[in-house]
Structure 1
Amino acid sequence: MEIPEHYKYAVIPHIMVDGAAEAIKFYVKAFGASELFRLDGDGGRIVHAEISVQGSTLMLGDADAPFSPTGEGGASVALHVYVPDVDALTAQAVAAGAELLSSPTDMPYGARQSMLRDPFGHIWIFLTPIVA
């Protein structure tokens, strides 16, 4: 599987909010965003959604640890980057001082993914498409 064209050569911001459904409505009204994808969870929560704002992709969802706009030690933004080899990049980042939050794992949506926190508190999610 190849990296989707709209994810190539980009760091994709993934914001976590309390009330993602309302945030999407706001971004549509305020910025002319269009909803590309939504994965609903229990109780009306949004596990993951993607919108397009002027041709740029923004990921968002309702906040859960380690993401929290207001929680202690939480971060409200993650940065997604598709890379050729998530395992190698994860090892490189950990050797450089990144905190490993989630080891490289094959995910059900067709990507191998890891999650790290950089020394400045930012969360990075690296993904490599899994060849189907």
Structure 2
Amino acid sequence: MPAPKARPIPEGMHSLTPHLVCDGAAKAIDFYKAAFGAVEAMRLRGPGGRLMHAALRIGDSALMLVDEFPEMGSVGPQALKGSPVTLHLFVPDVDATMAQAERAGATVTMPAQDMFWGDRYGQLTDPFGHRWSVATHLQDLTPEQIQANFAKMPPAMECGQ
């Protein structure tokens, strides 16, 4: 009898899952546990002890990560001198999460504040160079209300400054 067909998207996963490259993935796992309450699902070590694959859960979402493998063209944001990618995390209490992440070693790049789109929102950079935005949704607004709120903002706030 043939084996049962596997689900195209494994149980507990979503269609889109971030997969980060870190200089020091094992330390990054410790940071994500301390900063965001991540739960480690698995860890696969390769030659020389580098992480070939690791999987975490933060809230209801998966996060995968690996160590850098520069010999294969796989490097993290520190080697690239920054990242154009921001990971967005919804949490019940943005202020508490930002404070917890800062205590764990993150750098707050934008303190949490109430935003025109209805979220309390802040930004930080983790010790491995990955950028995060963290938010608590406060109110459901229509696109028209968001546009009207945006129009009332001072110019310095237009890009989250």
| TM-score, scaled relative to structure 1 | 0.50
More strand by share: 1
Q: Which has the higher contact order (CA 8 A, sep 6+)?
A: 1
| TM-score, scaled relative to structure 2 | 0.41
Q: Which has the larger radius of gyration?
A: 2
More helix by share: 2
